[in-house]
Amino acid sequence: MAGAVVNDLPPAAEGRQGRPLIVTEDVELLDDLLRLCAAAGARPEVHHGVPQGRGSWEAAPLVLVGDDAVRRVRGAVRRRGVVLVGRDQDDSGVWRRAVEIGADHVLMLPDGEQWLVDRIADVAEGVGRPALTVGVIGGRGGAGASTLACALAVTSARQGRRTLLVDADPLGGGLDVLLGGEAAEGLRWPAFAASRGRVGGGALEESLPELHSLRVLSWDRGDAVAIPPQAVRAVLAAGRRRGGAVVVDLPRRIDEGVAEALAQVDVGLLVVPAELRAIAASARVASAFGMVLRDLRVTVRGPYAPGLDDSEVARLLGLPLVGEVPVETGLLDGGAPPGGAARGQLARFCTGFWDRALAGGEVV
Protein backbone atom coordinates (compact mmCIF):
# COMPACT_ATOMS: atom_id res chain seq x y z
CA MET A 1 0.00 0.00 0.00
CA ALA A 2 1.69 3.20 -1.12
CA GLY A 3 1.24 6.91 -0.62
CA ALA A 4 -0.74 9.16 1.65
CA VAL A 5 -4.00 10.88 0.85
CA VAL A 6 -3.60 14.62 0.38
CA ASN A 7 -6.57 16.75 1.40
CA ASP A 8 -5.64 20.36 0.82
CA LEU A 9 -9.01 21.85 1.65
CA PRO A 10 -8.61 24.27 4.57
CA PRO A 11 -10.91 24.17 7.59
CA ALA A 12 -14.18 25.90 6.82
CA ALA A 13 -13.98 27.84 10.07
CA GLU A 14 -11.22 28.17 12.60
CA GLY A 15 -13.43 29.56 15.32
CA ARG A 16 -14.93 27.44 18.01
CA GLN A 17 -18.57 26.51 17.97
CA GLY A 18 -20.62 29.34 19.48
CA ARG A 19 -22.85 32.33 18.84
CA PRO A 20 -21.91 34.83 16.14
CA LEU A 21 -21.66 38.45 17.27
CA ILE A 22 -23.51 41.26 15.46
CA VAL A 23 -22.42 44.86 16.01
CA THR A 24 -24.73 47.50 14.49
CA GLU A 25 -27.32 50.18 15.29
CA ASP A 26 -28.81 50.05 11.79
CA VAL A 27 -32.27 48.58 12.41
CA GLU A 28 -32.84 47.46 8.82
CA LEU A 29 -29.40 45.87 8.60
CA LEU A 30 -29.94 44.15 11.94
CA ASP A 31 -33.23 42.71 10.70
CA ASP A 32 -31.48 41.29 7.65
CA LEU A 33 -28.62 39.82 9.67
CA LEU A 34 -31.02 38.24 12.18
CA ARG A 35 -32.95 36.73 9.26
CA LEU A 36 -29.77 35.25 7.79
CA CYS A 37 -28.70 33.89 11.18
CA ALA A 38 -32.09 32.21 11.54
CA ALA A 39 -31.71 30.66 8.09
CA ALA A 40 -28.33 29.27 9.15
CA GLY A 41 -29.66 27.89 12.44
CA ALA A 42 -27.68 30.30 14.64
CA ARG A 43 -28.72 32.52 17.54
CA PRO A 44 -26.48 35.59 17.50
CA GLU A 45 -25.41 37.98 20.25
CA VAL A 46 -26.23 41.60 19.35
CA HIS A 47 -24.47 44.78 20.53
CA HIS A 48 -24.31 48.40 19.37
CA GLY A 49 -20.55 48.51 19.94
CA VAL A 50 -17.70 46.37 21.26
CA PRO A 51 -19.19 44.32 24.14
CA GLN A 52 -18.22 45.48 27.60
CA GLY A 53 -16.14 43.07 29.67
CA ARG A 54 -13.75 40.42 28.53
CA GLY A 55 -14.45 37.55 26.23
CA SER A 56 -17.41 38.29 23.94
CA TRP A 57 -15.49 40.08 21.18
CA GLU A 58 -12.52 37.72 21.29
CA ALA A 59 -14.46 34.46 21.77
CA ALA A 60 -17.20 34.85 19.16
CA PRO A 61 -16.53 32.49 16.23
CA LEU A 62 -17.71 35.16 13.76
CA VAL A 63 -18.19 38.93 14.13
CA LEU A 64 -20.52 40.80 11.75
CA VAL A 65 -19.87 44.53 11.92
CA GLY A 66 -22.35 46.87 10.26
CA ASP A 67 -20.80 49.65 8.22
CA ASP A 68 -22.45 52.11 10.61
CA ALA A 69 -20.47 50.67 13.56
CA VAL A 70 -16.91 50.98 12.19
CA ARG A 71 -16.11 54.00 14.37
CA ARG A 72 -17.28 52.20 17.52
CA VAL A 73 -15.14 49.07 16.97
CA ARG A 74 -12.04 50.78 15.59
CA GLY A 75 -10.09 50.33 18.83
CA ALA A 76 -11.09 46.71 19.46
CA VAL A 77 -8.54 43.92 19.72
CA ARG A 78 -7.58 42.66 16.25
CA ARG A 79 -8.80 39.14 15.55
CA ARG A 80 -9.75 36.86 12.67
CA GLY A 81 -13.32 36.19 11.59
CA VAL A 82 -14.50 39.81 11.30
CA VAL A 83 -16.83 40.63 8.39
CA LEU A 84 -17.75 44.21 7.51
CA VAL A 85 -21.32 44.27 6.18
CA GLY A 86 -22.78 47.12 4.11
CA ARG A 87 -25.27 47.90 1.39
CA ASP A 88 -23.76 50.58 -0.85
CA GLN A 89 -22.13 48.78 -3.77
CA ASP A 90 -20.60 52.05 -5.01
CA ASP A 91 -18.92 53.06 -1.74
CA SER A 92 -15.19 52.69 -2.43
CA GLY A 93 -14.35 53.83 1.09
CA VAL A 94 -15.66 50.61 2.57
CA TRP A 95 -12.34 48.87 1.86
CA ARG A 96 -10.42 51.51 3.81
CA ARG A 97 -12.80 51.09 6.75
CA ALA A 98 -12.38 47.31 6.58
CA VAL A 99 -8.62 47.74 6.93
CA GLU A 100 -9.14 50.08 9.90
CA ILE A 101 -10.94 47.38 11.90
CA GLY A 102 -8.95 44.42 10.58
CA ALA A 103 -11.87 42.78 8.78
CA ASP A 104 -11.20 39.58 6.83
CA HIS A 105 -14.04 40.18 4.38
CA VAL A 106 -16.25 42.95 3.04
CA LEU A 107 -19.78 41.85 2.25
CA MET A 108 -22.51 43.76 0.47
CA LEU A 109 -26.15 42.83 0.88
CA PRO A 110 -28.22 41.50 -0.73
CA ASP A 111 -25.68 40.01 -3.19
CA GLY A 112 -23.64 38.25 -0.51
CA GLU A 113 -26.50 36.68 1.41
CA GLN A 114 -25.84 33.05 0.46
CA TRP A 115 -22.12 33.33 1.25
CA LEU A 116 -22.94 34.80 4.65
CA VAL A 117 -25.54 32.13 5.44
CA ASP A 118 -22.96 29.45 4.65
CA ARG A 119 -20.34 31.12 6.84
CA ILE A 120 -22.74 31.56 9.78
CA ALA A 121 -23.90 27.94 9.45
CA ASP A 122 -20.28 26.77 9.49
CA VAL A 123 -19.61 28.40 12.85
CA ALA A 124 -22.99 27.33 14.23
CA GLU A 125 -22.08 23.72 13.45
CA GLY A 126 -18.54 24.08 14.75
CA VAL A 127 -17.09 23.06 11.41
CA GLY A 128 -13.41 22.14 11.24
CA ARG A 129 -11.45 20.14 8.68
CA PRO A 130 -13.77 18.48 6.14
CA ALA A 131 -14.10 14.71 6.08
CA LEU A 132 -11.62 12.67 4.11
CA THR A 133 -13.78 11.46 1.23
CA VAL A 134 -13.00 8.19 -0.54
CA GLY A 135 -14.79 7.10 -3.71
CA VAL A 136 -14.89 3.40 -4.65
CA ILE A 137 -15.44 2.36 -8.28
CA GLY A 138 -15.73 -1.08 -9.81
CA GLY A 139 -13.49 -1.69 -12.82
CA ARG A 140 -16.23 -3.94 -14.18
CA GLY A 141 -19.58 -5.23 -12.97
CA GLY A 142 -19.28 -7.53 -9.96
CA ALA A 143 -15.78 -6.33 -9.08
CA GLY A 144 -16.66 -5.98 -5.40
CA ALA A 145 -16.66 -2.19 -5.13
CA SER A 146 -19.74 -2.09 -2.92
CA THR A 147 -18.26 -4.69 -0.59
CA LEU A 148 -15.05 -2.68 -0.26
CA ALA A 149 -16.96 0.57 0.28
CA CYS A 150 -18.97 -1.00 3.10
CA ALA A 151 -15.88 -2.55 4.65
CA LEU A 152 -14.00 0.76 4.58
CA ALA A 153 -16.93 2.51 6.27
CA VAL A 154 -17.46 -0.20 8.89
CA THR A 155 -13.75 -0.23 9.72
CA SER A 156 -13.61 3.56 9.97
CA ALA A 157 -16.58 3.62 12.35
CA ARG A 158 -15.07 0.85 14.47
CA GLN A 159 -11.97 3.02 14.90
CA GLY A 160 -14.19 5.68 16.47
CA ARG A 161 -14.33 8.03 13.52
CA ARG A 162 -17.52 9.81 12.46
CA THR A 163 -18.35 7.96 9.24
CA LEU A 164 -20.88 8.44 6.46
CA LEU A 165 -21.41 5.81 3.74
CA VAL A 166 -23.05 7.14 0.57
CA ASP A 167 -24.59 4.94 -2.11
CA ALA A 168 -24.24 6.96 -5.31
CA ASP A 169 -25.44 4.14 -7.60
CA PRO A 170 -29.26 3.97 -7.83
CA LEU A 171 -29.02 0.70 -9.76
CA GLY A 172 -26.74 -1.05 -7.30
CA GLY A 173 -29.36 -2.67 -5.07
CA GLY A 174 -28.78 -0.54 -1.97
CA LEU A 175 -25.89 -0.52 0.48
CA ASP A 176 -28.33 -0.72 3.39
CA VAL A 177 -29.21 -4.21 2.11
CA LEU A 178 -25.54 -5.21 2.03
CA LEU A 179 -25.26 -3.97 5.63
CA GLY A 180 -28.36 -5.91 6.68
CA GLY A 181 -30.38 -2.75 7.43
CA GLU A 182 -32.88 -2.35 4.61
CA ALA A 183 -35.67 -1.98 7.19
CA ALA A 184 -33.80 0.54 9.35
CA GLU A 185 -35.60 3.81 10.01
CA GLY A 186 -34.26 6.95 8.37
CA LEU A 187 -34.29 8.91 5.14
CA ARG A 188 -33.08 7.66 1.76
CA TRP A 189 -31.92 9.55 -1.34
CA PRO A 190 -35.42 10.36 -2.72
CA ALA A 191 -36.11 12.48 0.38
CA PHE A 192 -33.27 14.81 -0.65
CA ALA A 193 -34.22 15.22 -4.31
CA ALA A 194 -35.51 18.75 -3.71
CA SER A 195 -32.46 19.90 -1.71
CA ARG A 196 -31.00 23.22 -2.81
CA GLY A 197 -28.39 25.53 -1.35
CA ARG A 198 -27.09 24.39 2.00
CA VAL A 199 -28.12 21.26 3.92
CA GLY A 200 -27.38 21.25 7.65
CA GLY A 201 -24.69 18.68 8.48
CA GLY A 202 -26.12 17.83 11.88
CA ALA A 203 -29.67 17.53 10.58
CA LEU A 204 -28.48 15.26 7.74
CA GLU A 205 -26.62 12.97 10.11
CA GLU A 206 -29.56 12.64 12.49
CA SER A 207 -32.00 11.89 9.66
CA LEU A 208 -30.09 8.93 8.16
CA PRO A 209 -30.23 5.27 9.22
CA GLU A 210 -27.51 4.29 11.69
CA LEU A 211 -26.04 0.86 10.98
CA HIS A 212 -22.94 -0.62 12.63
CA SER A 213 -22.11 2.76 14.24
CA LEU A 214 -22.10 4.65 10.93
CA ARG A 215 -24.66 6.66 8.99
CA VAL A 216 -25.83 5.37 5.62
CA LEU A 217 -27.40 7.27 2.72
CA SER A 218 -28.85 4.70 0.35
CA TRP A 219 -31.88 4.17 -1.88
CA ASP A 220 -35.39 3.02 -1.06
CA ARG A 221 -37.16 0.14 -2.72
CA GLY A 222 -39.48 2.37 -4.78
CA ASP A 223 -39.22 3.49 -8.38
CA ALA A 224 -35.97 5.12 -9.45
CA VAL A 225 -35.86 8.84 -8.66
CA ALA A 226 -33.49 11.20 -10.45
CA ILE A 227 -31.47 13.21 -7.93
CA PRO A 228 -30.57 16.63 -9.38
CA PRO A 229 -26.85 17.49 -9.41
CA GLN A 230 -27.36 20.42 -7.05
CA ALA A 231 -28.97 18.09 -4.51
CA VAL A 232 -26.00 15.69 -4.73
CA ARG A 233 -23.65 18.63 -4.23
CA ALA A 234 -25.56 19.98 -1.20
CA VAL A 235 -25.95 16.62 0.55
CA LEU A 236 -22.34 15.52 0.13
CA ALA A 237 -21.07 18.93 1.23
CA ALA A 238 -23.18 18.64 4.37
CA GLY A 239 -21.78 15.19 5.12
CA ARG A 240 -18.20 16.36 4.64
CA ARG A 241 -18.58 19.38 6.91
CA ARG A 242 -19.05 17.07 9.90
CA GLY A 243 -15.47 15.81 9.59
CA GLY A 244 -14.29 12.20 9.94
CA ALA A 245 -14.64 10.02 6.86
CA VAL A 246 -17.08 9.80 3.96
CA VAL A 247 -17.07 6.72 1.71
CA VAL A 248 -18.94 6.94 -1.61
CA ASP A 249 -19.87 3.86 -3.63
CA LEU A 250 -19.78 5.16 -7.21
CA PRO A 251 -21.33 3.75 -10.40
CA ARG A 252 -19.17 3.00 -13.43
CA ARG A 253 -20.68 5.81 -15.49
CA ILE A 254 -20.30 9.56 -15.10
CA ASP A 255 -23.37 11.76 -15.35
CA GLU A 256 -23.96 15.23 -13.90
CA GLY A 257 -24.81 13.90 -10.45
CA VAL A 258 -21.78 11.61 -10.33
CA ALA A 259 -19.59 14.49 -11.49
CA GLU A 260 -20.81 16.52 -8.51
CA ALA A 261 -19.89 13.64 -6.20
CA LEU A 262 -16.47 13.25 -7.79
CA ALA A 263 -15.78 16.96 -7.25
CA GLN A 264 -15.83 16.28 -3.50
CA VAL A 265 -13.84 13.01 -3.53
CA ASP A 266 -10.26 13.23 -2.23
CA VAL A 267 -9.10 9.82 -3.46
CA GLY A 268 -10.66 7.21 -5.73
CA LEU A 269 -10.11 3.47 -5.39
CA LEU A 270 -10.64 1.43 -8.58
CA VAL A 271 -11.40 -2.22 -7.75
CA VAL A 272 -10.02 -4.49 -10.48
CA PRO A 273 -10.37 -8.29 -10.67
CA ALA A 274 -7.04 -9.78 -11.78
CA GLU A 275 -8.04 -11.13 -15.19
CA LEU A 276 -7.47 -9.70 -18.64
CA ARG A 277 -11.04 -8.77 -19.62
CA ALA A 278 -11.53 -7.00 -16.30
CA ILE A 279 -8.30 -5.08 -16.82
CA ALA A 280 -9.44 -4.01 -20.28
CA ALA A 281 -12.79 -2.83 -18.90
CA SER A 282 -11.07 -1.10 -15.99
CA ALA A 283 -8.80 0.79 -18.35
CA ARG A 284 -11.85 2.43 -19.93
CA VAL A 285 -13.29 3.27 -16.51
CA ALA A 286 -9.94 4.66 -15.37
CA SER A 287 -9.69 6.82 -18.48
CA ALA A 288 -13.10 8.40 -17.83
CA PHE A 289 -12.74 8.86 -14.06
CA GLY A 290 -9.11 9.93 -14.30
CA MET A 291 -10.19 13.06 -16.16
CA VAL A 292 -12.24 14.12 -13.13
CA LEU A 293 -10.42 12.62 -10.15
CA ARG A 294 -6.97 14.02 -9.45
CA ASP A 295 -6.06 11.01 -7.25
CA LEU A 296 -7.14 7.62 -8.61
CA ARG A 297 -5.55 4.41 -7.36
CA VAL A 298 -6.04 0.72 -7.99
CA THR A 299 -6.94 -2.12 -5.67
CA VAL A 300 -6.73 -5.66 -7.06
CA ARG A 301 -8.89 -8.70 -6.32
CA GLY A 302 -7.79 -12.25 -6.93
CA PRO A 303 -7.70 -14.97 -8.01
CA TYR A 304 -5.00 -14.05 -10.49
CA ALA A 305 -4.88 -15.03 -14.13
CA PRO A 306 -1.56 -16.63 -15.20
CA GLY A 307 1.26 -14.12 -15.38
CA LEU A 308 -0.52 -11.47 -13.32
CA ASP A 309 0.02 -10.09 -9.85
CA ASP A 310 -1.20 -6.88 -8.23
CA SER A 311 1.85 -4.87 -9.30
CA GLU A 312 1.44 -5.96 -12.91
CA VAL A 313 -2.25 -5.01 -12.91
CA ALA A 314 -1.37 -1.55 -11.59
CA ARG A 315 1.39 -1.22 -14.21
CA LEU A 316 -0.95 -2.14 -17.04
CA LEU A 317 -3.46 0.48 -15.86
CA GLY A 318 -0.82 3.11 -15.14
CA LEU A 319 -2.20 3.77 -11.66
CA PRO A 320 -0.67 3.76 -8.15
CA LEU A 321 -1.26 0.48 -6.32
CA VAL A 322 -3.03 0.44 -2.95
CA GLY A 323 -2.84 -3.33 -2.56
CA GLU A 324 -4.73 -6.60 -2.92
CA VAL A 325 -8.26 -6.65 -1.55
CA PRO A 326 -8.87 -9.94 0.27
CA VAL A 327 -11.98 -11.91 -0.63
CA GLU A 328 -14.26 -12.29 2.40
CA THR A 329 -16.76 -15.13 2.40
CA GLY A 330 -19.85 -15.60 4.53
CA LEU A 331 -20.88 -11.94 4.56
CA LEU A 332 -23.73 -11.13 6.94
CA ASP A 333 -23.54 -14.58 8.56
CA GLY A 334 -24.56 -13.86 12.11
CA GLY A 335 -25.24 -10.22 11.18
CA ALA A 336 -21.63 -9.34 10.33
CA PRO A 337 -21.28 -6.77 7.51
CA PRO A 338 -18.30 -6.54 5.15
CA GLY A 339 -15.28 -5.76 7.29
CA GLY A 340 -17.27 -6.57 10.41
CA ALA A 341 -14.85 -9.21 11.64
CA ALA A 342 -12.15 -7.02 13.20
CA ARG A 343 -9.47 -9.69 12.79
CA GLY A 344 -10.55 -10.70 9.29
CA GLN A 345 -8.35 -10.09 6.28
CA LEU A 346 -10.69 -7.54 4.73
CA ALA A 347 -10.88 -5.52 7.95
CA ARG A 348 -7.10 -5.60 8.27
CA PHE A 349 -6.76 -4.33 4.69
CA CYS A 350 -9.15 -1.45 5.42
CA THR A 351 -7.44 -0.64 8.70
CA GLY A 352 -4.14 -0.44 6.85
CA PHE A 353 -5.66 1.92 4.31
CA TRP A 354 -7.01 4.29 6.97
CA ASP A 355 -3.76 4.16 8.94
CA ARG A 356 -1.84 5.26 5.87
CA ALA A 357 -4.43 7.81 4.78
CA LEU A 358 -4.71 9.40 8.20
CA ALA A 359 -1.69 10.26 10.30
CA GLY A 360 -2.32 11.03 13.95
CA GLY A 361 -5.98 11.77 13.25
CA GLU A 362 -5.12 14.41 10.65
CA VAL A 363 -5.29 14.18 6.88
CA VAL A 364 -1.78 14.33 5.46
CA–CA dist 305, 323 (Å, integer) = 17
270 with 233, same domain: the answer is: yes
Of the three residues 64, 96, 125, the one that is the final residue of a domain is 125
Amino acid, res. 338: P
165 with 259, same domain: the answer is: yes
110 with 138, same domain: the answer is: no
Q: What CATH number corresponds to the domain at position 353?
A: 3.40.50.300
Q: What CATH number corresponds to the domain at position 83?
A: 3.40.50.2300
CA distances from 350 to 131, 217, 347 (A): 17, 20, 5
Q: The domain containing residue 41 runs over which residues?
A: 20-125
Question: What's the burial of 183, exposed, middle or buried (CB within 10 Å: 0-12/13-18/19+)?
Answer: exposed
**Can you give the pTM of this predicted structure?**
0.74
Of the three residues 78, 101, 125, the one that is the final residue of a domain is 125
Residue 324 bridge partners (DSSP): 300
Label residues 78-104 b or e (16+ Cβ within 10 Å = b): eeebbbbbbbeeeeeebeebbeebebe
Residue 63 bridge partners (DSSP): 21, 82
Q: Which residues contact 361 (CB under 8 A, 6 or more apart)?
A: none
Q: What is the mean pLDDT of residues 337-353?
A: 94
pLDDT above 50 for 16? no
Number of domains within the chain: 2
276 with 235, same domain: the answer is: yes
pLDDT per residue as tens digits for the range 143-191 = 999 999 999 999 999 999 999 999 999 888 789 999 999 899 999 999 9
Q: Is residue 4 a part of any domain in this protein?
A: no
pLDDT per residue as tens digits for the range 184-226 = 999 999 999 988 777 878 888 999 999 999 999 999 887 777 8
119 with 140, same domain: the answer is: no
Q: Is residue 9 a part of any domain in this protein?
A: no
How many CB atoms are located within 10 Å of the residue 347 CB?
A: 21
Percent residues over pLDDT 70 in the chain: 90
pLDDT of residue 73: 96
Q: Is residue 11 a part of any domain in this protein?
A: no
Banded model confidence at residue 125, pLDDT cuts 50, 70, 90: confident
97 with 151, same domain: the answer is: no
The region of weakest confidence among 102-106, 112-116, 352-356 is 112-116
Q: SS3 of 72, please?
A: helix
Using DSSP bridges, classify how beta strands 210-211 and 296-301 pair: parallel, antiparallel or unpaired.
unpaired
pLDDT per residue as tens digits for the range 229-240 = 999 998 998 899
pLDDT of residue 327: 85
Of the three residues 125, 159, 181, the one that is the final residue of a domain is 125
Banded model confidence at residue 362, pLDDT cuts 50, 70, 90: very low
